[in-house]
Amino acid sequence: MIPIKSSEITPYRLYQDRRQFIKSAGALALGAAVVAACGAPPAPAGPAAASPDAAGSVALADERADPANSFEEITNYNNFYEFTPDKQRVAQLARDFVTRPWTVEVGGLVRNPKTFAIEDILAGFDQEERIYRLRCVEGWSMVIPWLGFPLRQLLAQVEPTADAQYVRFETVLDPEQMPGQRSPVYEWPYAEGLRLDEAMNDLTLLATGLYGQTLLPQNGAPLRLVVPWKYGFKSIKSIVKIDLVADQPSSLWMIAAPNEYGFYANVNPDVPHPRWSQRSERRIGESGRRETLPFNGYAAEVAALYAGMDLRRNY
């Protein structure tokens, strides 16, 4: 499948902003790429940096000028254990996954519990493009142009009470459609959690698409979380339930291997996984390895959330 060019799908205002950005900073973005190639730290460019290619269309890149992975790569190399642990077979096994009707129940410690139909989520929140790096705990990474909206906008509608300290997320339980859920190895449904201030951070996204297209099943259709400074397993797919809770929730991976996976799961090159180092990563589509950055390169936006915490103990 050939992705639609971002210039064709980006909302017109964003598109204009981006063209303006290219005019004023295109040279800077290209310059940053040269600096990075020389081994110095890449210079920051504006949000959703882009540079024009020879034909004048927009090549997508993250704010460090790392080019986005291709649509093919992003939709054919997936972790979605509900289907299979084989990354290259997820797309095929998930192809016919039915995502309509779909509702997302948001409740728990809130003043205004609400069940959203997916159509209301798509129509009710402005969908914006966010180009984020995704770093999997297994040591590979990608750059993905998501379409979505900040989770805090949805949480604002349900009005968390003062007792709400954490947010718990749940994936749909549907073993008929998801063969992996028939395996007793994991405790289904897949669950994840965030501290409330992490959930309210502007980077934390609910994604509904990528490359300007509706999310495909393998990427977590119709709605998935994206938390770019944490290992990819926190970014739970195909969400049907979001609860505000008082106590730190458990997750599928914490239950499966508590000595390997903690609640926070912030990308941290200084804390090795018990079975491998986290110092470097392989960007899908590249042959060498890149240095892994604290908080996956988003320290400026999120390090303050963990001030005073021992990040070795709270891994």
Structure-block tokens of residue 38:
């020389």
Please state the closest distance from residue 247 (CB atom) to ligand MTE, in A.
22
> Which is nearer to ligand MTE, 41 or 85 (by Cβ)?
85
Please state the closest distance from residue 141 (CB atom) to ligand MTE, in A.
9
Phi, psi of 32 (to 5 degrees): -60, -40
> Which is nearer to ligand MTE, 115 or 183 (by Cβ)?
183
- DSSP assignment of 127-183: -EEEEEEEE-TTSEEEEEEEEEEEHHHHHHHH-B-TT--EEEEEE---TTT-GGGG-
Please state the closest distance from residue 237 (CB atom) to ligand MTE, in A.
4
- Interface stretch with ligand MTE, choices 62-70, 73-81, 147-155, 194-202 (CB under 6 A): 73-81
The one among 71, 169, 188, 190 contacting ligand MTE by CB under 6 A: 190
Closest Cα partner for 314 from 173, 183, 160, 195?
A: 195
Cα 35 to Cα 32: distance, rounded to the nearest angstrom: 5
Per DSSP bridges, beta strands 213-214 and 205-210 are antiparallel
> Which is nearer to ligand MTE, 190 or 264 (by Cβ)?
190
**Number of residue whose CB is nearest ligand MTE:** 232
Cβ atoms of 242 and 187 closer than 8 Å? no
Q: Does 169 bind ligand MTE (CB under 6 A)?
A: no
Please state the closest distance from residue 304 (CB atom) to ligand MTE, in A.
25
Q: Which of residues 218-277 bind ligand MTE (CB under 6 A)?
A: 219-220, 232-233, 235-238
Give the number of other Cβ atoms within 10 Å of residue 56's Cβ: 9
> Which is nearer to ligand MTE, 51 or 268 (by Cβ)?
268
The one among 79, 251, 266, 292 contacting ligand MTE by CB under 6 A: 79
Structure-block tokens of residue 66:
């790392």
- Interface stretch with ligand MTE, choices 14-22, 28-36, 72-80, 281-289 (CB under 6 A): 72-80
Please state the closest distance from residue 235 (CB atom) to ligand MTE, in A.
5
Phi, psi of 98 (to 5 degrees): -90, 125
Burial track 82-92 (b if 16+ CB lie within 10 A, e otherwise)? bbbeebeebbe
- Interface stretch with ligand MTE, choices 27-35, 48-56, 74-82, 276-284 (CB under 6 A): 74-82
What is the number of residues in the chain?
Answer: 315
Q: Does 97 bind ligand MTE (CB under 6 A)?
A: no
Q: Does 78 bind ligand MTE (CB under 6 A)?
A: yes
For 55, 225, 285, the CA distances from 73, given in Å and listed in that order, are 23, 19, 8
Give the number of other Cβ atoms within 10 Å of residue 18's Cβ: 21
> Which is nearer to ligand MTE, 124 or 179 (by Cβ)?
179
Q: Does 136 bind ligand MTE (CB under 6 A)?
A: yes
Please state the closest distance from residue 173 (CB atom) to ligand MTE, in A.
10
The one among 10, 60, 61, 81 contacting ligand MTE by CB under 6 A: 81
> Which is nearer to ligand MTE, 48 or 221 (by Cβ)?
221
Phi, psi of 100 (to 5 degrees): -135, 135
Give the DSSP letter of residue 106. E
The residues of the shown chain that bind ligand MTE, judged by CB under 6 A, are 78-82, 134, 136, 171, 190, 219-220, 232-233, 235-238
